[in-house]
Amino acid sequence: MSDAATKTMNMIEAINSALDVMLGQDPDVVIMGEDVGYFGGVFRATAGLQKKHGKTRVFDTPISECGIIGVGVGMAAYGLRPVPEIQFADYIYPGLDQLVSEAARMRYRSANDFICPMTVRSPFGGGIFGGQTHSQSPESLFTHVCGIKTVIPATPYDAKGLLIAAIEDNDPVVFFEPKRIYNGPFTGYYDRPVEPWSKHEGSAVPEGHYRIELGKAAIVREGGAVTVLTYGTMVHVVKAVVAEHGIDAEIIDLRTLLPLDIETIEASVKKTGRCMVVHEATRTSGFGAELSAQVQERCFYYLEAPVERVTGFDTPYPHSLEWAYFPGPVRLARAFDKIMKD
Amino acid sequence: MGQHQRENLAPLHLHIPEPKFRPGDKADFSDIIVPEVDAIARPDEHVAPADIHALAYGLVRVLDDENAATGSWNPGLSADTLRLMLRKMLTLRAFDDRMFRAQRQGKTSFYMKSFGEEATSVATTMALHRDDMCFPSYRQQGILITRDYPLVDMMNQIYSNRGDRLKGRQLPIMYSAKDYGFFSISGNLTTQYPQAVGWAMASASRADTRIAAVWCGDGSTAEGDFHSALTFAAVYNAPVIFQVVNNQWAISSFSGFAGSERTTFAAKAIGYGIAGLRVDGNDVLAVYAAMQWAANRARTNNGPTLIEYFTYRGEGHSTSDDPNAYRAAEEYALWPLGDPVERLKAHLIATGEWTHEQHEALVATLSDEVKAKQKEAEQNGILGHGLHHPFETMFEDVFEEMPAHLKEQCAQMLEEQHDKFGPEWEAR
């Protein structure tokens, strides 16, 4: 923890603060992406940073994700620590080869001759009426790739500490930001007013430098009846449903998907005997499948019910029927009923 | 089947490119236009790209039909420099021959020669500074040889043996040598293009003095990375030199599948507003001169250049294909721009700086040297014969620190080896 003063921040402000701290502290840090410079990003994550740190540190790029990430790999080979932004996770695919075949493999294929300390930031997830090209959750594409770390924060405090740790990490990190909770911890009850971050303890963010170690989950609610493994926006949805229905659930916010904090997961599931996996991404081959497999391998004899998956459906993210797609309170309540009955 | 024809309109026609010659045909390259030396004189290095469009369609030459060095592009290199250039190309040729043969003898899995296009890696590297950064494709082993990288280390990599600096992880010839300004080679094509731009942008942003040079083939200019890279380089005026080694063939696909029926590869520069040069790739002096011109531009913040080396892939793509199955025999012998080594040799002999006897003696000496290095490398093992890096190294360098799941998998792999080798494994 830093000695610096603590301030109430929403997630965008916390991310902006992390970037500001790193730009100030490490001359190798460079930020680039579509609209990130003068304008400060479509979600304002880089607002004011170009003015403060200069145009060669924070700058706009052509609309070419392949170019953004490929150029980042080259900058990292030179010795910089690039932090490119991909405007929406849905746009990351043109850069996938540069991430999967290049960034992720650089240390291994060159036997440490070249490394790639690059952090790719990208807003992801739905619930904002973004349709099928502004709502996706592609995290399992990256957890499947050896050589990349995948990090997803759920609070402003975690977002800043994890992002600083990601930038300081000497390997490539994909940092997915749950854009539905940039401005407040969305509970999934979309017809109720959204609370601002200021009413949430996770909005107390130190102004200076601090890190949250990658690969460590957080138990955000202790409980004895069922373990819920989740991350990002869904942490808050699960918390709200658990409170609404008075369920004695232990909720684990994974924070880093890879490397996975399997020790925390294993201890919790062995304690509760039940495990539910919750993510917004499509179900088949989603990260929930990996979690379910690992829990089954390690905790089979402790389980009193099959591992339950609560996810988005295997369709593109629909526009008008967004709330029928989203794994919200109704789907979660049904899953809790099922897992607690078994 | 979705067919829809209006009677008053002619039916559409899909064009599938076809090379002019296939096996059984007699190649005839008489339609290739070889302009005179200095058909377009060397412009000032500060010229605006818009003022030199013709160079993207011409052919920079220095060695004329009698192998005399003439014209405004002549870099005026000393005889010593030219003999060094010849020596490097002959070393490369000797190295390629031995390693190709080693693959045929079952000592490794794969090899790729650069026969016929040696100038594009040797002369270019000589025109760069030693600390400039090279981002090669898979056929520029001449860069390492020109920068005096140890041949034994190259061979160790090809054999994936216990001496391999890359720990036996990469397909043969996918070297990496940061200390020699040689970037790690990917197997995915043209990914190095935006990376070179990123490196050059970083260098410029740091007010460094080093520039980047990057190579790809004619076929792989079709990759999106090529176009992303040229866009970024143009936008940020990056100090980078793009090179397309147009050796006419991408495995079995002729350059028409990368668009060569429509325009030159150098002319791609025009759309991006950067300088473009088309160069006789088998004329070492022209290759050197073009790189020197482009490097001087980059060094003086005059931006990127795209150079096309018009050359010919003298042999197969790699040890895995037989060119007789898809192209006419003797194409290389009939190639109108000759062979880069033979042309430099003829030039040196014509100027009284070299003799046939010296040449034969040098070829024999280099062959012996390469053979001796090969023996030395084979002391470290050949592929599949046990002398590899320790098994544990398979799990190292995926990340800087090995995470728990890889430690677990590493332990599993070691148990498997124990099961497989028993007491022998214990005694290792």
CATH number for the domain spanning A300: value is 3.40.50.920
CA distance A306 to A250: 17
Residue where a domain stops, chosen among A149, A171, A205: A205
Residue A257 and residue A200 in one domain = no
pTM over 0.95: yes
Query: What tens digit of pLDDT does each residue of A39-68 get?
Result: 999 999 999 999 999 999 999 999 999 999
Residue B371 and residue B397 in one domain = no
Cβ-Cβ contacts under 8 Å for A327 (sequence gap 6 or more):
A234, A237, A278, A279, A280, A310, A311, A312
For residue B87, what pLDDT is reported? 98
Inside any domain, residue B8: no
Q: Work out the average pLDDT over B42-52.
A: 98
For residue A188, what pLDDT is reported? 96
For residue A172, what pLDDT is reported? 98
Higher pLDDT, A323 or B386: A323
Inside any domain, residue B134: yes
Residue A183 and residue A327 in one domain = no
For residue A127, what pLDDT is reported? 92
Partner-chain contact A110 B191, CB within 8 Å: no
Partner-chain contact A30 B205, CB within 8 Å: yes
Residue A239 and residue A274 in one domain = yes
Pair B77, B285: CB distance under 8 Å: yes
Residue B197 and residue B242 in one domain = yes
For residue A18, what pLDDT is reported? 98
Domain extent, residue A171, equals 6-188+193-205
Q: A165: domain CATH number?
A: 3.40.50.970
A30 → chain B, closest CA residue: B202
Residue A132 and residue A249 in one domain = no
Average pLDDT over chain B, rounded to an integer: 96
Burial B52-91 (b: 16+ CB within 10 A, else e): beebbbbbbbbbeeebebebebbbebeeeebbebbbbbbb
What percent of chain B stands above pLDDT 70? 99
CA distance A18 to B328: 61
Residue A167 and residue A221 in one domain = no
Tokens of residue B145, six digits: 């040889």
Q: Work out the average pLDDT over B367-391.
A: 94
Partner-chain contact A77 B229, CB within 8 Å: no
Asked whether the CA dihedral B213, B215, B220, B221 is positive or negative, the reply is positive
Which of B399, B401, B407 is the best residue to mutate to test the A interface, defined by the most A CB atoms within 10 Å of its own CB? B399
Quick check: B176 contacting A, CB < 8 Å?
yes
Residue A138 and residue A230 in one domain = no
Residue B326 and residue B404 in one domain = no
Partner-chain contact B191 A97, CB within 8 Å: yes
**A–B CB contacts, 8 A cutoff, strictly below:** 142
Q: Is the pLDDT of residue B192 over 90?
A: yes
Q: Work out the average pLDDT over A81-85.
A: 98
Among A53, A134, A200, A279, the one annotated catalytic = A134
Residue A162 and residue A267 in one domain = no
What percent of chain A stands above pLDDT 70? 99
Q: Work out the average pLDDT over A262-279.
A: 98
For residue A4, what pLDDT is reported? 66
Residue B324 C-alpha from the chain's centroid: 22
Residue B371 and residue B399 in one domain = no
Quick check: B405 contacting A, CB < 8 Å?
yes
Looking at chain A from residue 213 to 232, which residues have their Cβ under 8 Å from any Cβ of chain B?
215
Partner-chain contact B399 A110, CB within 8 Å: no
Residue B416 and residue B275 in one domain = no
pLDDT category at B4 given cuts 50, 70, 90 is: confident
CA distance A179 to A43: 9
Nearest partner of A194 among A202, A206, A182, judged by Cα: A182
Cα-based distances in Å from B38 to A179, B45, B78, B358, B399: 60, 16, 21, 31, 53
Total domains in the fold of chain A:
2
Inside any domain, residue B213: yes
Higher pLDDT, A227 or A1: A227
Asked whether the CA dihedral B146, B151, B154, B159 is positive or negative, the reply is positive
Residue A225 and residue A114 in one domain = no
Query: What tens digit of pLDDT does each residue of A249-268 get?
Result: 999 999 999 999 999 999 99
Q: Is the pLDDT of residue B421 over 90?
A: no
Using an 8 Å CB-CB cutoff, list chain B residues near A76: 198
Quick check: A300 contacting B, CB < 8 Å?
no
Query: What tens digit of pLDDT does each residue of B102-150 get?
Result: 999 999 999 999 999 999 999 999 999 999 999 999 999 999 999 999 9
Query: What tens digit of pLDDT does each residue of A302-335 get?
Result: 999 999 999 999 999 999 999 999 999 999 999 9
Q: B361: domain CATH number?
A: 3.40.50.970
Quick check: B397 contacting A, CB < 8 Å?
yes
Cα-based distances in Å from A5 to A38, A138, A183, A189, B30: 28, 36, 21, 34, 78
Q: Is the pLDDT of residue A1 over 70?
A: no
Partner-chain contact A67 B188, CB within 8 Å: no
pLDDT category at B5 given cuts 50, 70, 90 is: confident
Residue B198 and residue B240 in one domain = yes
Using an 8 Å CB-CB cutoff, list chain A residues near B186: 101-102, 105, 109
Domain extent, residue B355, equals 49-378
Partner-chain contact A114 B197, CB within 8 Å: no
**Smallest CA–CA separation between B397 and chain A, in Å?**
5
For residue A83, what pLDDT is reported? 98
Pair A255, A153: CB distance under 8 Å: yes
Partners of B307 in the β-ladder: B243, B277
CA distance A115 to B87: 34
Residue where a domain stops, chosen among A155, A173, A205: A205
Partners of B115 in the β-ladder: none
**Smallest CA–CA separation between A54 and chain B, in Å?**
11
Total domains in the fold of chain B:
2
Residue A171 and residue A264 in one domain = no
A258 → chain B, closest CA residue: B403
Residue A181 and residue A74 in one domain = yes
Residue B298 and residue B414 in one domain = no
Looking at chain A from residue 113 to 152, which residues have their Cβ under 8 Å from any Cβ of chain B?
113-115, 146-147, 149
Inside any domain, residue B34: no
Task: State whether residue A275 is helix, strand or coil.
Answer: strand
DSSP H or E run through B407:
helix B404-421
Q: What is the ipTM, given to two decimal places?
A: 0.96
Q: Work out the average pLDDT over A285-298.
A: 98
Query: What tens digit of pLDDT does each residue of A103-145 get?
Result: 999 999 999 999 999 999 999 999 999 999 999 999 999 999 9
Residue B229 and residue B333 in one domain = yes
Using an 8 Å CB-CB cutoff, list chain B residues near A66: 194, 224-225, 228
pLDDT category at B2 given cuts 50, 70, 90 is: confident
Quick check: A39 contacting B, CB < 8 Å?
no
**Smallest CA–CA separation between A313 and chain B, in Å?**
29
Using an 8 Å CB-CB cutoff, list chain A residues near B399: 107, 147, 149, 171, 259
Nearest to A70 among B184, B202, B225 (CB): B225
Which of B160, B228, B236, B407 is the best residue to mutate to test the A interface, defined by the most A CB atoms within 10 Å of its own CB? B228
Cα maximum dimension of chain B? 84
Using an 8 Å CB-CB cutoff, list chain A residues near B240: none
Inside any domain, residue B27: no
Quick check: A33 contacting B, CB < 8 Å?
no
For residue A299, what pLDDT is reported? 98
Inside any domain, residue B170: yes
Inside any domain, residue A45: yes
* A134 part of the active site: yes
Average pLDDT over chain A, rounded to an integer: 97
Inside any domain, residue B43: no
Q: What crossing angle do the helices spanning A329-341 and A233-245 adopt, rounded to 10°? A: 60
Inside any domain, residue B243: yes
Query: What tens digit of pLDDT does each residue of B355-368 get?
Result: 999 999 999 999 99
Nearest to A64 among B188, B231, B405 (CB): B231
Q: Is the pLDDT of residue B264 over 60?
A: yes
For residue A65, what pLDDT is reported? 98
Inside any domain, residue A210: no
For residue A3, what pLDDT is reported? 52
Quick check: B354 contacting A, CB < 8 Å?
no
Residue A98 and residue A33 in one domain = yes
Burial class (CB in 10 A: 0-12, 13-18, 19+), B34: middle
Partner-chain contact B232 A97, CB within 8 Å: no
Residue where a domain stops, chosen among A173, A205, A237: A205
Partner-chain contact B165 A102, CB within 8 Å: no
Residue A96 and residue A237 in one domain = no
Residue B209 and residue B251 in one domain = yes
